[in-house]
Structure 1
């Protein structure tokens, strides 16, 4: 990013910050980026495992021209998104992208993006999360960081629960206090995120303590954790045993961060060496680390909170890609070639009636082979069935549902993360050809991104809401013969929708 001689300087509550122009100031399409602004003190020393603490005011001008430290320490490669790790202690920061820095009366709508990564990885410094396309469309964009893994979400006696969630809240409070200085309207904040970030969006939507911080939401491929108290305590005890320390705040604080990350992975893995054990644990128990039901911030599972009406006044768009997980099972298609889908599925779904109904509802997928069926099944259990459940429990609340159905020419599936560069309209960004090929359809990006802007700016993504037309699903990038709006776009997951 080339810096203009007249770098933009904005005054916020703690002090002045200097950003960098992208493009000639005032020219069409130009915007400014303010990177690595702290919303909380570095969570180290006595503040490790503590609630986020607001930063001290500073004198002079804070340089905000490059990304700050990330909580991620080395990209483990569990997503297909380029998410750089940046060393340093001050990991609690925000990045602001705006077309009108310093114009407090502009009152543009605001997008706040929460990155994914299974609550154990990910970075807000991805080139895919740059807000320039949203700036072009009159939307101020903020990306935030949060503590990951055990530091952010582990159960620690004597420490505040859900520290990563508290980081989201602190960042959103920062937006309320400071975004007007960047031309944003704090009363028109839309939160959005993908995968674990989508789970974060739904967690916040169901949290009474977060209701004043945003007015609408978009959740992509949401991975909801809702870790039970018992499971959280068990993981904590297991990790303490592996580390050879007492399961207390003092005990865990004595373990170096790098070592705790190594042991965290070991503690979260199944004891069974069977290759299917990890998938079975995911299907049966969900994620090991993430927002936990603590009786404080999160008093009940997200689905129950939404069912009770929390967040019902906030418009929500949610959906998933058609084959989030199939790329993983596809790697075993040679071994599964001669195994009937009905037999292979027995390992994952023990109930015969559900298996039969599911296979009947997914005949088209079955014709693609057993690996494709297993991948779709895991996709449906973890991601797609939740879309329908959430839309249904929200009742009359304004909810729109979509599917991302365009298949990658590189991977052959509409897999996890593929929709993100279309959502951000950043098809020219680094890493996109590796997942979407050399000529991803720009019309599809315009359709997806345009729907997002429609929600953020006008409160409507452009197709019938679920409460008005139950089952109505916008299909992005489906077969040419299919309508853009399917009357029951998630019909194939209904055999899995047992009462909850």
Structure 2
């Protein structure tokens, strides 16, 4: 199959779920000084581009979660190559069918991850009539370090550029550019929350899903400057874009240990990422407090967390892991949901809580961060998610749960209705969905 785009033709492959087009660039390769510039338009290509193989990935470190195999979440790590500002398109058919579009933004603490991760297999979405786009973006120093002479939040600018590509191009792949849902998990969810407060995002999507993110997860400029100063000192250069442009990606990865454990607390702000990452959004106002500036008023929102988020980082139930989950995700999710309900009149804000408890790590992982992803993508039966080191543990997933959770995401993308009233918090877990009144709502 060959699809003609504005930049050139691309060849994909067909399988049982539909058609797959991989490694399509949505912006020019970020090389040299371009790593610290806003994403530039791709110059295009002649002939037919091979879209049958995965793309390179952003430079990133290896993360270790001990006995738990998180490879399905982080993917292969850094696969070197210049054109990693790319996306994959999974579609039932590139036939101009005007289908709903979902654009997924991966997580990974703003330093790791890619659309090559096995968890993001979009076959079930294509099977169910959705065009799925999965996006790579800049990470770590090139993506989020705040530097004099460089635009802030370059990773977020990449996601905006990808959404612009979707707006201009997705019809050629069978998608409806007027029915786009952007969704993300963890760092990706926090980026989606920021899009809701970004003026340039107006008109690029109709709906948003925030999975285990935060509307209050951004660093202040003062906090960001502490990270920048530490990075510049570790590299022995001035904290400017020009100075950093001459440094290799390998050296950027090499200084990451020197940035771990920085005290980012200030007189007016706590560390929103609780020391887990020195990189993230840098904003003067938290997204939850700036929704009036962006498209939030006109966007349907599905937002939620897992009931034991912090167990991914510390599975010992005797510790403060649950408090960590509330700090990282719970409080900022609640604040974003409340702010969106106020600005949208409450009719288009839907809140969920995911409660299925993984039996991994001798049953202690529980409903931890990332555990909902196999259910959202309807792949919870995959053998590589089970066993002694698998994310879902040795036990099989409950029959029908993945299909139910996945259907919520598909229904929301189609109609803006996940299947429950906006004045309740719905629990998605081992049994049928159940609702409880949302506090503070009439």
TM-score normalised over the length of structure 1:
0.79
Q: Distance in 2 between matches of 1:61 and 1:77?
A: 39
Within-5 A mapping of 1:472-491: 472-477=424-429, 484-488=434-438
Residues 78-122 of structure 1 show CA distances to partners (whole Å, capped at 9, x for unaligned) of 693241232212110010000112x12x10000000000011111
Q: Distance in 2 between matches of 1:327 and 1:165?
A: 25
Within-5 A mapping of 1:5-84: 8-23=1-16, 30-77=17-64, 80=70, 81-84=73-76
Report if aligned partners of 1:283, 1:378 keep a CA contact under 8 Å in 2.
Answer: no
Q: Distance in 1 between matches of 2:294 and 2:27?
A: 31
Shift in Å, 1:328: 3.3
Report if aligned partners of 2:272, 2:327 keep a CA contact under 8 Å in 1.
Answer: no
Report if aligned partners of 1:75, 1:83 keep a CA contact under 8 Å in 2.
Answer: no
Which of 315, 329, 349 pairs up with 1:330?
315
Shift in Å, 1:313: 1.3
- Secondary structure at the counterpart of residue 369 of structure 2: coil
Residue 358 of structure 1 is matched in structure 2 by none
- Does residue 436 in structure 1 map to residue 392 in structure 2? yes
Task: Name the Cα RMSD after superposition.
Answer: 2.3
Residue 121 of structure 1 is matched in structure 2 by 112
Residues 320-371 of structure 1 show CA distances to partners (whole Å, capped at 9, x for unaligned) of 111111243334xxxxxxxxxxxxxxxxxxxxxxxxxxxxxxxxxxxxx632
Shift in Å, 1:57: 2.0
Report if aligned partners of 2:274, 2:327 keep a CA contact under 8 Å in 1.
Answer: no
Residues 284-320 of structure 1 show CA distances to partners (whole Å, capped at 9, x for unaligned) of 6885311211xxxxx6320111267851211100101
Report if aligned partners of 1:82, 1:431 keep a CA contact under 8 Å in 2.
Answer: no
Report if aligned partners of 2:102, 2:132 keep a CA contact under 8 Å in 1.
Answer: yes
- Secondary structure at the counterpart of residue 191 of structure 1: strand
Residues 417-451 of structure 1 show CA distances to partners (whole Å, capped at 9, x for unaligned) of 11001001012446321111351124111111011
Residue 378 of structure 1 is matched in structure 2 by 324
Q: Go from structure 1 to structure 2 and tell me whether the alpha carbon gap of 1:307 and 1:326 turns closer, same or farther (over 3 Å shift).
A: farther
Work out the number of aligned pairs and report it.
Answer: 417
Q: Distance in 2 between matches of 1:196 and 1:483?
A: 26
Residue 370 of structure 2 is matched in structure 1 by 417
Which of 286, 301, 306 pairs up with 1:316?
301
Shift in Å, 1:387: 2.3
Which of 138, 151, 160 pairs up with 1:160?
151
- Secondary structure at the counterpart of residue 350 of structure 2: strand
Which of 223, 231, 243 pairs up with 2:223?
231
Q: Go from structure 1 to structure 2 and tell me whether the alpha carbon gap of 1:392 and 1:301 turns closer, same or farther (over 3 Å shift).
A: same
Report if aligned partners of 1:150, 1:264 keep a CA contact under 8 Å in 2.
Answer: no
Residue 252 of structure 2 is matched in structure 1 by 260
Q: Distance in 2 between matches of 1:170 and 1:446?
A: 32
- Secondary structure at the counterpart of residue 210 of structure 2: strand
Residue 267 of structure 2 is matched in structure 1 by none
Q: Distance in 1 between matches of 2:187 and 2:43?
A: 30
The farther-off stretch of 83-92 and 150-159 is: 83-92
Shift in Å, 1:388: 2.0
Q: Distance in 2 between matches of 1:204 and 1:226?
A: 13
Q: Distance in 2 between matches of 1:174 and 1:429?
A: 32
Q: Distance in 1 between matches of 2:286 and 2:236?
A: 32
Q: Distance in 2 between matches of 1:248 and 1:149?
A: 16
Report if aligned partners of 1:463, 1:474 keep a CA contact under 8 Å in 2.
Answer: yes
Residue 218 of structure 1 is matched in structure 2 by 209
Residue 174 of structure 2 is matched in structure 1 by 183
Shift in Å, 1:212: 1.2
- Does residue 292 in structure 1 map to residue 249 in structure 2? no
The farther-off stretch of 375-384 and 133-142 is: 375-384
Shift in Å, 1:181: 0.4
- Does residue 450 in structure 1 map to residue 407 in structure 2? yes
- Does residue 204 in structure 1 map to residue 195 in structure 2? yes
Q: Go from structure 1 to structure 2 and tell me whether the alpha carbon gap of 1:217 and 1:53 turns closer, same or farther (over 3 Å shift).
A: same
For the pair shown, the structure with the greater C-alpha radius of gyration is 1
Q: Distance in 2 between matches of 1:327 and 1:288?
A: 19
Which of 91, 105, 111 pairs up with 2:84?
91
Report if aligned partners of 2:28, 2:83 keep a CA contact under 8 Å in 1.
Answer: yes
Report if aligned partners of 1:217, 1:315 keep a CA contact under 8 Å in 2.
Answer: yes
Report if aligned partners of 2:60, 2:140 keep a CA contact under 8 Å in 1.
Answer: no
Q: Distance in 1 between matches of 2:51 and 2:29?
A: 16
Residue 243 of structure 2 is matched in structure 1 by 251
Residue 241 of structure 1 is matched in structure 2 by 233
Residue 305 of structure 1 is matched in structure 2 by 290
Counting helix residues as a fraction of each chain, which structure ranks higher?
Answer: 1
Q: Go from structure 1 to structure 2 and tell me whether the alpha carbon gap of 1:327 and 1:187 turns closer, same or farther (over 3 Å shift).
A: closer
Which of 463, 469, 472 pairs up with 2:420?
463
Q: Distance in 2 between matches of 1:283 and 1:196?
A: 10
Report if aligned partners of 1:10, 1:18 keep a CA contact under 8 Å in 2.
Answer: yes
Residue 391 of structure 1 is matched in structure 2 by 337
Q: Distance in 1 between matches of 2:4 and 2:162?
A: 17
